[in-house]
Chains A and B, each alone.
Chain A
Amino acid sequence: MKDTIIPLDIVFINEDLDVTAIHNGIPKSEEFMTKKETSYVLEVNEGSGIEIGDELEFSPDTKIRTDRMVVLDENGSPQMELEGGERIFSRPNTKILIKFAKKANASGKDNDYKALGNRVFKFLKAQNDSEPEYVKQ
């Protein structure tokens, strides 16, 4: 731990929340441990008594997001993180499409299905051609 001055226990944990290895982190040392299939690393003061096989437990209401979804820019850098609930179509446009779909479903007519298809195309094209509506600050 070349830039850290606190002696640490560096605890490697897999996705099943089991401790797979512990490395003694020595201040200013260039030494490191490498472990495959690691999902978490816990760093605490050295001499913790944590052992291989111990299990990591979170309190029931903990929200650790282990699956972030991000929108990438053209360079591949995260541009925006998705929170969930993002919509392709706005609520008003969704209502319009449902209306068209119900009509086509009820009538079974080709023209009504064409009208639905045209409207879907129109909304998708508008989305494709316009700037993002939401900007992450």
Chain B
Amino acid sequence: MEKVSIKIGGKKYKVEIADTDEKKAQGFQGMETLPKDEGMLFVFTEPEEVSM
């Protein structure tokens, strides 16, 4: 999936969308660096209690 542009706290980020259980479990495992303007957005279709 393409990265999505978001803005938060006055800052812009390009984020990967993690909307499946597999993507959420994977997260940033195996990655050593993350560009300052990039990130990952985990999406929960219904509001739920999340532990991270």
- A residues touching B (Cβ–Cβ < 8 Å)? 1, 3-6, 8, 10-12, 14-15, 19, 23, 25, 32-45, 48-51, 54-59, 62, 64-68
Contact = CB atoms under 8 A, between A and B. Distances in A.
B9 to A, nearest CB: 4
Nearest to A10: B52
Contacts of A39: 43-44, 47
Interface in B3-41: 4-11, 13, 15, 17, 19, 27-29, 31-34, 36, 38-41
Interface residues of B, number: 34
A109 to B, nearest CB: 48
A50 B28 CA distance: 19
Contact of A64 (B4, B29, B31, B40): B4
Contacts of A36: 47-49
Contacts of B8: 11, 19, 42, 50, 54-57
A32 B4 contact: no
Contact of B39 (A32, A38, A43, A65): A43
B15 A42 contact: yes
B49 A34 contact: yes
